[in-house]
Amino acid sequence: MTKTDTAVPPNFISHIIEEDIKSNKHGGKVATRFPPEPNGYLHIGHAKSICLNFGLAIEYNGTCNLRFDDTNPAKEEVEYVESIKEDVRWLGFDWDDRLFYASDYFDQLCDYAVQLIKDHKAYVCSLSADEIREYRGTLTEAGRDSPYRTRSVEENLDLFQRMQAGEFADGSHVLRAKIDMAAPNMVMRDPTLFRIRKVPHHRTGDKWCIYPMYDFTHGLSDSIEDITHSLCTLEFENNRELYDWVLNTLNVDCHPQQIEFARLNLSYTVLSKRRLIQLVDEGHVSGWDDPRMPTLSGLRRRGYTPEAIRGFCERIGVARRNSVVDMALLEYIIREDLNKRVARVMAVLHPLRVVIVNYPEEQTEELEAINNPEDPAMGTRSLPFSRVLYIEQEDFREDPPKKFFRLAPGREVRLRYAYFIKCVDVIKNEQTGEIVELHCTYDPETQGGSAPDGRKVKATLHWVSADHAISAQIRLYDNLFTVPNPTEAKDGLDFKDYVNTNSLETLRDCRLEPTLAGAAPGSRYQFERVGYFCVDTVDSTAESLVFNRTVTLRDTWAKILKAQQQQKKRPKQR
């Protein structure tokens, strides 16, 4: 990927990096890493981190590693590792041969732990988890020293060795850093470095029954990999002191700089693997790749492009202030992207039969349609037109309200790329009163969409020829949650209480123009006047097509921007 594909607009991190390059810190080198824990699928928040880490490496001719932070065997799986690799690649980034696993460093981490013990900087503590919590104190109260804090180096070495050998039960001992139980930063009150976990690991199998903690592992992994700038989200700000303590105390050669930035929050969804996994496990969605999920696999299946997601990350920028980005912005960006690149086709979601009573019964003609008015290079295609058509039910009103300009009894409208038609009769089911078909006449003089006598119509409708149309299932998606901030649930409610139970609507017999026959899974279209759609990659087959709606054509972002601007202009009222 080139620099222009991954522009990282100048931000406070790039400023730090530029200063470091100038002062030749780290020998002028830039090395970043993206360090996911393989305990779930990546979401769009991770995309922000990926674009930032890989983007900075590209920008400054550096490198970016992909490193799995796989220190918690109980929650991690190979499936997640594979999905993460696929998603990073799909986003358009390449780690070349720099794929690493924290689990590959476990031996080295043990050696470092032994060094800390020998330097009187770590000890084996035999308090229970509850006792450790109790001894830790609070934000306003200092903690108390563990009674095991004064164990001798020999005893600590012996116990740590036997912890590794599997002699003790889970939770009976931990290895802790010996720092300061009265430290104002709670993270520094003798944090745990290693714990016993007799759980097989997805890569190391049964080799280990102790596992290193995140804070110990992360900085040392960065150091082992010669990382220069270790970017993480703001919730790790307090951990920076420990990050630096570990590297300083062990006096390692490479001491990267930890820099925190604000995580991405998006309205009407949740961005946390811990929460997303609940939606999957409890069946609120069909899986991690459900097109309603904010996961990269869900967005991909929904029809999002990697370019749009990278564009979104570029647009939201990087700062140190937490905020919630409006879902409408993401939708605006995918709309802009697809508008330029996908073909427009005609599809009728709720078909209403229209018989053109003055059109010859056996006749079919081919009409020329433009594939994308935004891009003449995409050419044209031909569409069959015949006596029986389908239009959208909502494009007809028997009793049109004032501002309804579409088809109504006695009214004339244009059929896109075809003719003017006029409604002359409404046929109803005698029992139910339901409209079953419309009878219309067409004006053969209006082919191509205009009348030689200059008369105008106020609406242009999409349509398909009934005999030629193909049938498809179409899935319409709405926000996964009914409120913008589901994680701020109140009144004893949980974020899952705000799951939108109407977020999926399945339309089973939609009618599509025949050029869509056999459309390949993953291919994207604009259905004229309806929205952007993508052939489902899981359930669609050549015989029975399934489309997902990526996004509607309605631009709510423009409205939001306008409202914000008006807000600014309006003088403050006192």
Catalytic residues: 37, 263, 273
Identify the residue among 13, 41, 48, 124 touching ligand ATP (CB under 6 A).
48
State yes or no: 255 annotated in a binding site. Answer: no
* CB distance 244 to 236 below 8 Å: no
Quote the radius of gyration of the chain (alpha carbons, Å): 31
Using rule CB under 6 A, residue 485 touches ligand ATP = no
Q: Does 302 bind ligand ATP (CB under 6 A)?
A: no
Binding of residue 65 to ligand ATP (CB under 6 A): no
Q: Are 32 and 83 a contacting pair, CB within 8 Å? A: no
Strands 420-428 and 435-443: antiparallel
Contact 425, 439 (CB under 8 A): yes
Nearest of 363, 392, 389 to residue 531 by alpha carbon: 392
The neighbour count for residue 548, using CB atoms within 10 Å, is 25
Task: Answer with the entry of Mg ion, ligand ATP, none that 271 interacts with (C-beta below 5 to 8 A by kind).
Answer: ligand ATP
Residue 324 contacts residue 265 (beta carbons within 8 Å) = yes
Does the annotation list 439 as a binding residue? no
Looking only at residues 23 through 62 of this chain, which bind Mg ion when binding is defined by CB under 5 A? 37
Pick the binder of ligand ATP from 91, 109, 179, 232 (CB under 6 A): 232
CB-based contacts of 136, cutoff 8 Å, min separation 6: 143, 181, 186, 189
- Yes or no: say if 223 and 245 are a contact pair by the CB < 8 Å rule: no
In degrees, rounded to 5, the angle at the alpha carbon of residue 80 between the alpha carbons of residues 104 and 315 is 105
How many positions of this chain bind Mg ion (CB under 5 A)?
A: 1
56 annotated ligand binder: no
**Which residue lies nearer to Mg ion by CB, 270 or 516?**
270
User: Closest separation between CB of residue 153 and ligand ATP, Å?
Assistant: 34
Minimum CB distance to ligand ATP, residue 35 (Å): 5
Rounded-to-integer distance, Cα 294 and Cα 38, Å: 17
Query: 470 a known binding residue?
Result: no
What is the helix (H) or strand (E) element at residue 64, kind and residue range? strand 63-68
36 is a contact residue toward ligand ATP (CB under 6 A): yes
256 binds ligand ATP (CB under 6 A): no
Shortest separation between residue 215's beta carbon and ligand ATP, angstroms: 13
Helix axes 556-569, 327-341, angle to 10 degrees: 130
What six digits make up the tokens of 193? 């470095």
Tokens of residue 72, six digits = 């918690």
Residue 26 among known ligand-binding residues = no
User: Which amino acid, residue 287?
Assistant: G
233 binds, among ligand ATP, Mg ion, none (CB under 5 to 8 A by kind): ligand ATP
37 is an annotated ligand-binding site residue: yes
User: From CA 366, how far away is CA 178, in angstroms rounded?
Assistant: 82
Q: Is 271 annotated as a binding residue?
A: yes
Residue in 16, 18, 25, 37 binding ligand ATP, rule: CB under 6 A: 37
> Residue of minimal CB distance from ligand ATP?
45
**Residue 240 makes contact with ligand ATP by CB under 6 A:** no
CB of 214 to ligand ATP, least distance (A): 8
| Part in contact with ligand ATP (CB under 6 A); list of ranges 29-37, 484-492, 528-536, 540-548 | 29-37
Position 312: which residue type?
F
Q: Do residues 533 and 462 touch, judged by C-beta distance below 8 A? A: no
Quick one: which H or E segment has residue 45? helix 44-59
Report the nearest approach of ligand ATP to the CB of residue 292 (Å).
17
The yes or no reply on residue 49 touching ligand ATP (CB under 6 A) is yes
Sign of the dihedral through C-alpha 103, 104, 109, 110: positive
Token pair for residue 565? 């601007």
Query: Taking CB under 6 A as the rule, does residue 270 contact ligand ATP?
Result: no
Taking CB under 6 A as the rule, does residue 35 contact ligand ATP? yes
Smaller CB separation from ligand ATP, 44 or 512: 44
Annotated binding residue at 69?
Answer: yes
Single out the residue of 13, 17, 45, 211 in contact with ligand ATP (rule: CB under 6 A). Answer: 45
For residue 531, state whether it binds ligand ATP (rule: CB under 6 A). no
User: Which parts of this chain interact with ligand ATP (CB under 6 A)?
Assistant: 35-37, 45-46, 48-49, 232-233, 263-264, 271-274
* Residues in the annotated binding site: 37-39, 43-49, 69, 214, 233, 263-264, 271-273
User: Which parts of this chain interact with Mg ion (CB under 5 A)?
Assistant: 37
* Residues in the annotated binding site for ATP: 37-39, 43-49, 233, 263-264, 271-273
